[in-house]
Structure 1
Amino acid sequence: MKDLERLSALDPARDRQPTAHELARAAANLDRIIAGPARVPRRVTGRWLAVGAAAVATGVAAAVIVPALLPNTADRATAGWTSAPSARTGDQVLPQARACGRQDVGGSTSTVRPEDVLLAEQRGIATLLILRKNGMIVECLSADGAAMASMSLREEGTIPPVPAGQVTLETMSSWGPGRGDDLWSNIVGLVAADVTAVELRLDSGRVIQASVRGGWWGAWWPGPEGGEIDHFVVIVHTAAGVTEHRPSTLE
């Protein structure tokens, strides 16, 4: 005990008390680690909402897995986030795509090829993928090899044509260990061939550039807006001009 007392005197933070916010966040993370992966039941149609480890989703056969994420990985993913993404090819994100393939959402598979990656973007250490596997289209978000979220979007044969100049909303979600700034959000949809860019303008004024490729568009960001109703605007760019939409108006 005397040795421990001597060592404790060398601790530079021995007199520091954690804030209420830090205690709540640590408790939430511990609860999630003990509970293991959170699973939301598969649904055939409709929209569902759950806040916390949360999601709002639309589409066919939606399913979500939100594993517990170590706080340092989550913090670094948030710290490295950028409002404009870096596009990635299937070859560049093949390790992340194969990790997504091994997950249960959409059925596990050991065969994932670069051409199965329909959309890939990088924001800091986080990679967002839209991937074709087992006849399904799935979304996977990961950071430093740790899965942040996965969701099945549609069966390949059920993807409808999108009218010129328009986008759809397939899924919108927020999840994380707490509330408010402790949450992360994402959004994914289909896009018409003539759409050149998609942006999000949050009610706070922050503008986020989405990725557009392979008939899909998507983005993720730190914040709770993906689990809330109409707290941002989707801005659609075409050669003919710009249109703005609240998420609730998108099919």
Structure 2
Amino acid sequence: MNDLEELAVLDPARHNEPTDAQWNRSRAFVERTMASAPASRPRWLAAGAVTVAAAALGVAGAVVVPALFPGATQQAIASWTAVPTARTGDQVLDQAKTCGKSDVEGSSTQVRPSDVILAEQRGDATMIIMRKTNGHIVECLGVGDAGFASMGLTDGTPLPPPPAGKLTLETRSSYGDGDDMFSNIIGLADPGVTSIELRLNDGGTIQASVKDGWWGAWWPGPEGGEGTDEFTVTAHTATGKTTYLPSEMP
């Protein structure tokens, strides 16, 4: 216990108390994850070390995540670009069908281009946010048509919209080991937000994708799962910009 107490002093977020909204978001995220796990087999396959900042609380925990096909993580990281290319539902329909077949938040009986809310391409990797047949919204990340990592974002219940010109942070995480580690961040964006960028503490800048009320990005490195503020998020509107630390985002 003495060791734990000494380590606690080194935690830069030890004095942060989550807001009621952040606690509610965290509980809802955990409940969605537990409810969607099949009783007969694990929902997730192990894919190395994982850190998740649950529902933007800034509290990190070790979990297991879905595995990409062997070599897909390395391929995705090697070809990654800081600026994404936007894709339409028609352009990523094959990947969306693979995402829809996943049992995360329930398998879709049919997948249409209109089910894709947001899609981006970074090198060989595609990130999709889509609505499944049952109304649940999920995120999928994969390389080509093979092997997707999936995460449930909503259980079909509409999430509270952000204030005008603002963002929310729904989830952030990192997974993998060493050079194969990468981070992920997803949230909601008010329609007035025109673009979003992330600036890492090492000076690197990443352009996020934003469309139809959602925004997101992924990048090589561990920052997304850190319990502290390892990056900033800037939302641009027609009248200016707002910069957030992750711990400040609702």
User: Which TM-score band applies after superposition, normalised by the shorter structure?
Assistant: 0.7 to 0.9
- Shift of the alpha carbon at 1:164? 0.7
1:170 match: 170
TM-score by length of 2: 0.75
Given that 2:50 and 2:64 are in contact with CA atoms closer than 8 Å, whether structure 1 keeps it comes out as no
Matched, 1:249 2:248: yes
Q: 1:43 aligns with which of 10, 30, 40?
A: 30
2:4 match: none
Distance 1:109 1:45, change over 3 A: closer
2:157 match: 157
1:128 match: 127
Q: How many residues align?
A: 201
Identity among equivalent pairs (%): 53
Matched, 1:199 2:197: yes
Given that 1:64 and 1:150 are in contact with CA atoms closer than 8 Å, whether structure 2 keeps it comes out as no
In structure 1, distance between residues paired with 2:197 and 2:248: 16
Identify unmatched segments of 5+ residues in structure 1.
1-41
In structure 2, distance between residues paired with 1:142 and 1:68: 7
TM-score by length of 1: 0.75
Distance 1:66 1:81, change over 3 A: same
1:79 match: 78
Given that 1:187 and 1:218 are in contact with CA atoms closer than 8 Å, whether structure 2 keeps it comes out as yes
2:55 match: 58
Given that 1:66 and 1:147 are in contact with CA atoms closer than 8 Å, whether structure 2 keeps it comes out as no
1:103-130 Cα offsets, whole Å, 9 max, x none, are 1111012311100000000001100000
- Shift of the alpha carbon at 1:243? 1.3
Matched, 1:143 2:143: yes
- Shift of the alpha carbon at 1:182? 2.5
In structure 2, distance between residues paired with 1:102 and 1:58: 25
Matched, 1:223 2:221: yes
Given that 2:186 and 2:216 are in contact with CA atoms closer than 8 Å, whether structure 1 keeps it comes out as yes
Given that 2:74 and 2:180 are in contact with CA atoms closer than 8 Å, whether structure 1 keeps it comes out as no
> Runs of at least 4 residues of structure 1 off by over 6 A?
none
1:4 match: none
Identify unmatched segments of 5+ residues in structure 2.
1-28, 34-47, 57-62
In structure 2, distance between residues paired with 1:129 and 1:151: 11
Distance 1:68 1:129, change over 3 A: closer
Partner AA of 1:127 in structure 2: T
2:117 match: 118
